[in-house]
Amino acid sequence: MSEPLSQADAGKFAAARGAVDLVEDGMKLGLGTGSTANWMVRALAARVAREGLSLTCVPTSTRTGDLARALGLRVVTLDEAGWLDLTIDGADEFDPALNLIKGGGGAHLQEKIVAAASNRMVVITDPSKDVAQLGAFPLPVEITPFGKGVTSKLIDKVLETAAVGARSSRLRMQGDAPFVTDEGNHIVDLALARIDAPADLAAALLQIPGVVETGLFLGLCDAVVIGHPDGRVETRRADGSAPVLARVDPAEAAALPAA
């Protein structure tokens, strides 16, 4: 007998299961990275097996690609797929305008490329990621290994005049060594407390030689699917239309293929 889901996992499953209902036969899909995206890949694989859907999937990280292949999904590169119909991904924060902070899992460069190559980006999340203003979650900034010390200092210099609530930065570590992304880069995490002007901050950071990409996803998200532990699902759209409410059965999670 399977263990009951934690409150957090029940919410993640509800969001993932709700978003998978948006998938149509023949679609080219971007598959996100992270714990909520893992639930989505599992729910998607279950639906493909149940309904015989023909899908082409582009993962946003090596680990998502490995999971999708293991569960029988057809996985190709973005260049092989070309333009995508839909990307489903998680987020670390989202604000009322559906601007996002992503990159807690270190995959935001590939995630942003895939999202930009999609007709729609749908974010799956739980209520804890819903914020009035971005910035409580540390902002990831991907940088090249070459000159990482100098690049970090230039980031700190930008923060001196940025409209933010705090100005702390640190190189992300994995054990005793710097964290390395799928692209072979490093990440500097910025503890900012709040970000008053996200577009200005993103533009200033991207002007720094050595900065590859930031975790600010501005104007890319079309809808957010929020899952609650009791199975309630709320979909908010960037166009300002009324939220769409639905419900899924959390017990369905027990029947999903293992991650």
User: Residue 165: pLDDT above 50?
Assistant: yes
**What is the residue whose two structure tokens read 């991907």?**
142
Which distant-in-sequence residues (6+ apart) come within 8 Å of 224 by Cβ? Answer: 91, 94, 98, 122, 123, 124, 125, 235, 236
Of the candidates 174, 248, 183, 169, the one whose C-alpha atom is nearest the C-alpha of residue 213 is: 183
112-123 pLDDT, tens digit per residue, is: 999 999 999 999
Query: What would the mean pLDDT of 63-76 be, rounded to a whole number?
Result: 98
Angle between helices 148-160 and 198-206 (to 10 degrees): 150
Cα–Cα distance, 39 to 216 (Å, whole number): 23
Q: What is the pLDDT of residue 5?
A: 87
Q: What is the pLDDT of residue 51?
A: 97
Query: What would the mean pLDDT of 132-140 be, rounded to a whole number?
Result: 98
Tokens representing 144 are 């090249």
Q: What is the pLDDT of residue 259?
A: 81
Q: What is the pLDDT of residue 2?
A: 59
Percent of the chain topping pLDDT 70 = 99
Cα–Cα distance, 49 to 46 (Å, whole number): 5
User: Residue 193: pLDDT above 80?
Assistant: yes
Of the candidates 3, 75, 4, 18, the one whose C-alpha atom is nearest the C-alpha of residue 231 is: 18
User: Residue 142: pLDDT above 90?
Assistant: yes
**Average model confidence (pLDDT) across the chain:** 97
- Residues that are catalytic: 111
Residues facing residue 46 across a β-bridge = none
**Residue 244 is which amino acid?**
V
Q: Give backbone dihedrals phi and psi of 224, rounded to 5 degrees, phi first.
A: -120, 130
3-state helix, strand, coil in the chain (%, to 5): 30, 25, 40
Say how many C-beta atoms besides its own lie within 10 A of residue 42's C-beta: 23
Cα–Cα distance, 131 to 160 (Å, whole number): 24
Q: What is the pLDDT of residue 32?
A: 98
Contact at 8 Å (CB) between 34 and 104?
A: yes
Q: How confident is the model at residue 1 (pLDDT cuts 50, 70, 90)?
A: very low
SS3 state at 247: strand
